Amino acid sequence: MAIETLKSEITGTVWKILYEEGAVIEAEAELMILESMKMEIPVEVEHQGRIQKILVAEGDPVEEDQDLALIEVD
């Protein structure tokens, strides 16, 4: 199995995390929502897998290209 690193595409704030570590997540599902300039930007996983580690918490500031989570893909 491979590990996929989910990265932020924007500078903003983690508004909401929708899954917990260890959860199985489907391809193209929203893992979390970032907020930037009063807009909500969903962060989607590319492949089905298990959430190995979430590297941020709700309310954390994030930079563009920052690692957000590690997904163990099937």
Say which CATH number the domain at 61 has.
Answer: 2.40.50.100
Q: Please, which pLDDT band fits residue 1 given cuts at 50, 70 and 90? A: confident
> How large is the average pLDDT for residues 63-67?
98
Q: Which run of H or E residues covers position 11?
A: none
Full domain range(s) for residue 47: 2-73
Looking at the 3D structure of the chain, how many domains does it have? Answer: 1
- Indicate the pTM of the whole model: 0.92
Render pLDDT for 17-56 as a digit per residue (tens, 0 to 9).
Answer: 999 999 999 999 999 999 999 999 999 999 999 999 999 9
- The long-range contacts involving 56-61, CB below 8 angstroms and separated by at least 24 positions, are 56/14, 56/17, 56/32, 57/14, 57/17, 58/14, 58/15, 58/16, 58/17, 59/13, 59/14, 60/13, 60/14, 61/11, 61/12, 61/13
